[in-house]
Amino acid sequence: MNSNDNVKFFVSCPPGLEQLLAKECSSLNLVHKTPAQKTSEVQKDVTGEEVGGFEFEGALENVFKVNLNSRVASRVVVRLGEFYAAAFSELAKKASKLEWGRYLKPGQQVNLRAVCHKSKLYHSDAVIQRVLNAINLHFSSPTKSVLPVTQSEDGQMILIRFVNDLCTISIDSSGEHLYKRGYKQAVTKAPLRENLAAAMILYSGWDLTSSLIDPFCGSGTIPIEASMIANKILPGITREFRFTDWPGFDKKLWESMLETAKKEIVNSISSISGYDRDAGAIEIAQANAARAGQKNNIKFTQQAVSYLESPSTTGTIVTNPPYGIRTKENNDLRDLYARFGTILIEKFQGWSLVVLSSDDRLTGNLGLGKPISFLQFSNGGIPVKLLKFKL
């Protein structure tokens, strides 16, 4: 395997966040397989995640680059092959001819997952078994015994998708989901994924130097992601990736990419604050920030939203207030939103607000009128809107 080898790869994200992912990928000089083409997968991928995203074509090192750099992406997979198959014999024959040796070794464990839609081969377990057999046939040797590739939940994930008899086989390059940066070992009751927090900040248009506040910070994800963005700390700089296990992995290139990323880290002068009324949440947020190396860059304070004050004439509020759904709170949240809206109007004129909400009626209680723009996506299976206001 050579890092200059040309590959097709798919970068996925939560559906609704494609425009933010596209902007990131453009900044990395990635080239769409077809210009300006957005390729949304069917509603859920084989891991059970709802996905949108884009397919690209370029040097293999771009796969490393996206994993390291993207704050919004969920996963990066390399397209190993695509072909039509209407019979198991056809599937086995065509799958055995794919270039498995670029990503697997004999005796390696793999985690095959399959979904089948509107195809003659509709039994996913049978599809998985045929592809596993095909992999071992690819590595078989008439002159020596070759260790068989075996199925395991801990193995290299291989994604098999059948749609209208078209089989697409992809190799996962990421390992754990990309939102798992590694710093969030403790969470509050309704945690926000790191890539969604980053998407909120990027969508807000925050200038990286003015004040940024999260009045309902919970585990501290939004302030921590904001601090990492302001300090140019790439989201994948300290975590592990599956592609480092591939045969012929270019370790020297990867180490060079990491070294360059470390040299580009800056000491930001941003004022970033997180507030929460729960003392336990503040302790969790501080611990998470410490693991992320951002404890000294963020001010966390135990404080109810009623006591919120503006630290400057301009700035940005990015927040994920309680929904009253996953936390199973029975209390009426309308008063909380109304009080929050009053404070925003009275004390934060000239600021920008980005707020995540699952209920239009609750955000209506803010009393801020129509947002200047919004995005729709899913947060842990809950349909939500990301609303942007100018106060």
- Quick one: pLDDT at residue 44? 67
Superfamily in which the 194-236+250-263+271-390 domain is placed by CATH: Vaccinia Virus protein VP39 (3.40.50.150)
Instruction: Count the alpha carbons within 13 Å of 183 in the hemisphere toward its beta carbon.
Output: 29
Q: Answer yes or no: is pLDDT of 41 > 50.
A: no
| pLDDT tens digits, 306-347 | 999 999 999 999 999 988 654 445 457 999 999 999 999 999
- Measure CA 26 to chain center: 17
Cβ distance 391 to 28 under 8 Å? no
Start-to-end C-alpha separation, the chain: 53
Quote the CA–CA distance of 369 and 388 in Å, as a whole number. 11
Q: Helix, strand, or coil here: 121? A: coil
- Tens of pLDDT, residue by residue over 59-72, are 999 999 999 999 99
Distances (CA, A) of 129 to 156, 160, 249: 16, 11, 27
CA distances from 229 to 202, 268, 270 (A): 9, 9, 11
Instruction: List pLDDT tens digits, range 218-254.
Output: 999 999 999 999 999 999 999 999 999 999 899 999 9
The whole-chain average pLDDT of the chain stands at 91
- Looking at residue 186, what DSSP letter applies? S
Distance CA 143, CA 386 (A): 61
Q: What is the structure's pLDDT at 382? A: 82
String of DSSP letters for 70-104: -SS--EEEEEEEEEE-SSHHHHHHHHHTS-GGGT-
Mean pLDDT of 119-142: 94
CA distances from 39 to 9, 26, 55 (A): 11, 16, 6
Specify the residue for token string 């709170």. 329
The 10s digit of each residue's pLDDT in 74-91 is 999 999 999 999 999 999
| Model confidence band, residue 390 (pLDDT cutoffs 50, 70, 90) | very high
pLDDT at 39: 46
pLDDT value of residue 332: 77
| SS3 (DSSP) at 56 | strand
Helices (DSSP H) in the chain: which residue ranges?
A: 18-27, 61-69, 88-96, 124-139, 194-204, 221-230, 251-263, 279-291, 334-347, 360-364
pLDDT of 272-292, one tens digit each?
999 999 999 999 999 999 999
Task: Give the CA distances from residue 383 to residues 14, 118, 201, 323, 355, in Å, rounded to whole numbers and listed in that order.
Answer: 11, 27, 19, 11, 14
* Angle in degrees, CA 53, 188, 355, rounded to 5: 55
Is residue 26 scored above 50 in pLDDT?
yes
Domain 6-172 listed as CATH 3.30.2130.30: yes
CATH 3.30.2130.30 residue window(s) in the chain: 6-172
CATH 3.40.50.150 in the chain, residue ranges: 194-236+250-263+271-390
The residue among 83, 15, 22 whose CA lies nearest residue 50 is 15
Q: Strand pairing partners for 75?
A: 12
